[in-house]
Amino acid sequence: MLHTQTIQITDAPPGEIGAQITGIQVNELAADAPELEMIRQAIYRNKLVVIRGQDITPEQYVAFARKMGTPQVYFQENYHHPDFPEIFVSSNVPEPDGRKIGVAGTGHYWHTDCQFQKHPLSFTSIMPVIIPKSLRATYYIDMVKVLKNLPAELRKYVDGKTYIHGGNNRYKVRPCDVDKSIQELIDYMNQIVPPVEHPAVIKHPVTGEEALYISSGFTMQIKGLTYEENKAALQALFSFIEKEEHIYTHHWDKGDLIIWDNRTLLHKSSRLPAGELSKSYRIGIYDQYPFYVGIENNG
């Protein structure tokens, strides 16, 4: 029998990101529970939510993701949990039977998930399994705020522009890639995830907010500019975007389940302190809306 739960959502102060949610266990929410829509709306409003005090199994995590939307099965299998392909595993923890599960050292650069795909990911959720003792943080940048603050000399590289994105430089070599040349790996990546175009500024399908949609992790070039112009423009844009004053830090506590909106936030994970173990589960979730106004729905 389900317990009676009273959800409490504390929104971020105006102009900031990150709501706190308490009072629920996500595995106890029924498929039609009104709390699910309350959580989705809190994500749209606050861009990031932290649901505290969760103690759930991988199976319950997948079940919750299904209630929130459509879980992603990541296109590279080497990231998959062995029993639940929806779970993307970041781990440097040796398994007792010597198997390698997941990928170590993911996402230590500014990006937004699946920007290199035609239909990027709406939400990302993360649940830590093993938190390193000295540091485990995820950093965020609010790209709605960045766009509002963008100086005029950078605005000219953004207004009406189209950007090209790709994930090739971030490819994680797999055991089966031994003996392949770098060129063969580049050709393989170009075949499975060819570069894509998105507008520099995207309009959120729910909030109507406009966000700058570029990242130093995945953005390759501004369409129509020369090599030299591109280099100078991207360097200037990224050094403005990644200024200290734009960065919000979430330090992980055991039991945190966080979910954010990839339309409006950049993120990167903290570097792993030497000699420490870290393991986390991620599930990407597609909501029911197109990624931005003007693109057709994924689905």
Contact between residue 123 and residue 68 where contact means Cβ atoms under 8 Å apart: yes
Smallest gap from Cβ 29 to Fe ion, in A, equals: 25
Q: Closer to Fe ion at the Cβ: 113 or 287?
A: 113
Question: CB nearest Fe ion: which residue?
Answer: 107
Q: How far is CA 32 from CA 4, 44, 66, 119, in A?
A: 15, 19, 11, 26
Q: 3-class SS at 82?
A: coil
Stretch that binds Fe ion, among 54-62, 105-113, 160-168, 180-188 (CB under 5 A): 105-113
Backbone conformation region of residue 243, classed left if phi is above 0, alpha if psi is from -120 to 50, else beta: beta
Task: Please answer whether residues 45 and 74 qualify as being in contact, where contact means their C-beta atoms are separated by less than 8 angstroms.
Answer: no
Q: Which stretch binds Fe ion (CB under 5 A): 55-63, 103-111, 128-136, 185-193?
A: 103-111
User: Site map for Fe ion, 132-151, x if CB under 5 A?
Assistant: --------------------
Q: Where are the alpha helices (DSSP H) in 213-277?
A: 227-241
* Residues, the chain: 299
Rank residues 86 and 113 by Cβ distance to Fe ion and give the closer one. Answer: 113
User: Residue from 58, 102, 107, 217 that binds Fe ion (CB under 5 A)?
Assistant: 107
Shortest separation between residue 50's beta carbon and Fe ion, angstroms: 17
Identify which of 166, 156, 161 has the alpha carbon closest to the alpha carbon of residue 202. 161
Nearest-angstrom CA–CA distance, 142 and 152: 19
List the one residue from 35, 86, 113, 209 that touches Fe ion (CB under 5 A).
113
| Nearest to Fe ion of 204, 282 (CB atom) | 282
User: What is the nearest approach in angstroms of Fe ion to the Cβ of residue 267?
Assistant: 6
Nearest Cα neighbor of 45 from 70, 13, 71 is 13
When the beta carbons of 40 and 267 are compared against Fe ion, the nearer one is: 267
Smallest distance from the beta carbon of 30 to Fe ion, in angstroms? 30
210 counts as binding Fe ion under rule CB under 5 A: no
- How many other C-beta atoms lie within 10 A of the C-beta of residue 274? 6
Residues forming contacts to Fe ion in the complex (CB under 5 A) are 107, 113
